Structure 1
Amino acid sequence: MPLNVFGFYNGLNEQAKGYPYLKRFGRIINQLALFQIAILNNGTLDGRPSRSLVNEAHTMGTKVLLTVSNLNQQGKFSTALIGRLIREQDFANLVWQNIRNILVEYQFDGVNLDLEKAAPEDRSLYSKFIQAWSTKFRQANFLVTIDVPAKSASDPSDSWKGAFDYQAIGQAVDEVILMTYEEHWPASPPGSVASIPWVTEILNYAIATIPRQKIYMGIPLYGYDWSERGGAQVISYLRAIELARRHGAPLQWDGRQYSTFFRYETRGVRHTVYFEDPRSLKDKLDLALSMGIRGVALWEMNLSYPRAWEILQNYASRSKIK
């Protein structure tokens, strides 16, 4: 079966870098999630989408979802905010009503819940909260999707993943987006952000706990540029190719991680870059297809490039770009 395509659009209007890709390739996207709406401490929502952007996606036959997160003003996920949502019924009801009002006003098709870093000891309460909200949104005729951290085993005590009970959450919502990226991250040694062996382990665990027809495998459209001095910067495919050419750095293939990488030196500092490219993208799409899951979720469209969409259309359920 072809794959459904879920695209994260990092922005709320036509000024986002992903907009040209939406214009050109949007007809292969089944669901578009507008990302950047955050829940504030007073229960209101920060940000409003472009009505014309939502309408334009609908004209393409694409369902549009509103991603709602617990990101604070410092760009960090707030554990305290989730604690309030799962314990203070009046606060949770206020937030739910404010989300519903935007969904209705802008004619969204559903919601994408990006509520991360719940305290692991709140695992049961978090599941009950997701179940309650899912019931309310579905009764209001909205599609409910949720983003969950990647894991390959049950780990209730893990500070980042522990609160996410795949089975309970998978039963509650319509679709689950596995965040199958960040295997390597700025504070880790250099490596693929989503190697095929690692992603395979996560998919195998997910399929054992969540119905296949609900699962979207996250596909990163980025990599990292690590400095030997520590830390890393996000890098897109187009930027990585330009950087390698400028420094005359040969591209290499890591056959264990199924990822392209290169090394270069600037101002006496050595760098290692791992990034996702057409070859690793195709490997991931083949894996998703072989697993029989619902589809793939692209993080994120601002970092995409034309060749990625050309490859993607060969796998997509809406395969014809008009």
Structure 2
Amino acid sequence: MRNHRTTHRITPRITRRTAGRTLAASAVGVLATAALTLPTGTASAFTGLPVVGYQEEGDATSLIDASSGALGSVGVDGVNITSDGTSVSAPDDGALNQLAAAHADGLPAEFLVGNFSQAIGDFDESAAYNLLSSQDNIGNVVASLSSAVSSQGWDGVTIDIESLRSRDTDGLTAFVTALKQALPSGKTVSLDLMNGQSAAEYSELGYDLPALGQVVDHLVLMAYDQHTQASDPGPVGALSWQQQGLDVLVGEVPAGKVDLGVAGYGYSWPPGGGATQVSDQGARDLVAADGATAQFDDASGEWTATLSDGTVLWWSDARSLALRRTMAANAGLHGLAVWDLALSDPIQQ
């Protein structure tokens, strides 16, 4: 996820390294109302679509086991380039634990390489530009990534370089191409894309979609964080917003390479501010503790509730995922991708 950004070009997101899991991973409770019961027959309408389950390096590996029957692969977050764009470290022991768990369940795993900066608490476009504008830097980083794949046994790399601008377009294509060429045969390259609402917006975000679509194995449309704790309350990723971005994308790239990214979490907006990210179960627990009733909003395909103190909740859960399965199948996509296993309901066929 991503931190708030003030630019008009993109939707704010929350960083994957957020501390906002206090309500997320630890929440345990019993549903208070029948309106919150998860569907039993809708989530398996299109069982042939693989799901990428994202996992942070410090998460419990048992989360992979719990969803392994519905997963096609695991994406492990990951490593980041240096601020000067010259280098990147190898995945650490925590990431390797996730890799081992995925392989034990018979699942391939890619690690994520990004441009997240702890110093600014966001994805750093200047770091990305330092990498993407230099052939030497691209060569150095590609060599490090390829070495990690070969020496550690990864099945590929997911490029999660975000907050890009049009000045990064050619460099991104060059970086993706160089990485794909450097990896051993059979290893995959995936690219995370922000959800543009027009061809012009995708271009502003630094994506030459036709060129990228020819090079990478998979393009993951991050169709979530339409609203975040940095925005007014609203759906995490409404169906219409997702469909618009997807329609534009598949007009430029092969649909069979696209994975539709889906949120497995939500947000809580208290009236006085201080909004937080919540897990699916955490959202239901807040509603139950308050004695409120949640409603499933058919238009957005998400749950929403307003607590007695005025706190507004929106979240995307297993029922939401079922609707996105239909969207992905109708568009002829490769599959789906869920951020993330520590926040979402267990993924089922």
TM-score in terms of structure 1 length: 0.86
Contact map agreement 2:264 2:343 (CA 8 A) in 1: yes
| Equivalent position to 1:5, from 19, 31, 51 | 51
Q: Which runs of 4+ in 1 moved over 6 A?
A: none
| Equivalent position to 1:239, from 259, 270, 282 | 282
Does residue 250 of the first structure (1) align with residue 293 of the second (2)? yes
Deviation digits for residues 272-312 of structure 1, max 9, x if unmatched?
00111332221111211222110000111111223xx23xx
| Equivalent position to 1:35, from 77, 80, 84 | 77
Return 218-227 or 148-157, whichever deviates more: 148-157
In 1: Cα distance, 2:134 partner to 2:276 partner: 38
In 2: Cα distance, 1:291 partner to 1:66 partner: 27
Structure 2 residue ranges without an equivalent (≥5): 1-45
Structure 1 residue ranges without an equivalent (≥5): 314-322
| Alignment-mate amino acid for residue 342 of structure 2 | N
Deviation digits for residues 33-65 of structure 1, max 9, x if unmatched?
110311224513165144454233223221111
Deviation digits for residues 53-110 of structure 1, max 9, x if unmatched?
4233223221111111111123311111111112222222221111122111210110
Question: 1:319: which partner in 2?
Answer: none
Question: 2:65: which partner in 1?
Answer: 23
| Equivalent position to 1:152, from 197, 215, 220 | 197
| Alignment-mate amino acid for residue 271 of structure 1 | T
Does residue 278 of the first structure (1) align with residue 318 of the second (2)? yes
Question: 1:316: which partner in 2?
Answer: none
In 2: Cα distance, 1:177 partner to 1:89 partner: 25
Does residue 65 of the first structure (1) align with residue 105 of the second (2)? no
Deviation digits for residues 228-281 of structure 1, max 9, x if unmatched?
234521111100111001111111232322221111144xxx210011133222
Count of paired positions: 299
Deviation digits for residues 99-132 of structure 1, max 9, x if unmatched?
1221112101100000111232332333233233
Question: 1:260: which partner in 2?
Answer: 303
Question: 2:243: which partner in 1?
Answer: 200
Residue 141 of structure 1 deviates from its aligned partner by 4.2
Question: 1:79: which partner in 2?
Answer: 125
In 1: Cα distance, 2:163 partner to 2:259 partner: 20
1:223 to 1:156, Cα distance in 2 relative to 1, 3 A: closer
TM-score in terms of structure 2 length: 0.79
Percent of paired sites with the same residue: 24
| Aligned pairs (5 A) from 1:35-184 | 35-41=77-83, 43-45=87-89, 47-50=91-94, 51-74=96-119, 75-137=121-183, 141-155=186-200, 162-184=205-227
Does residue 189 of the first structure (1) align with residue 232 of the second (2)? yes
| Alignment-mate amino acid for residue 44 of structure 1 | V
SS of aligned partner of 1:303? coil
RMSD: 2.1
Question: 1:305: which partner in 2?
Answer: 345
Contact map agreement 1:194 1:220 (CA 8 A) in 2: yes
Question: 2:41: which partner in 1?
Answer: none
> 1 or 2, which has the higher helix percentage?
1
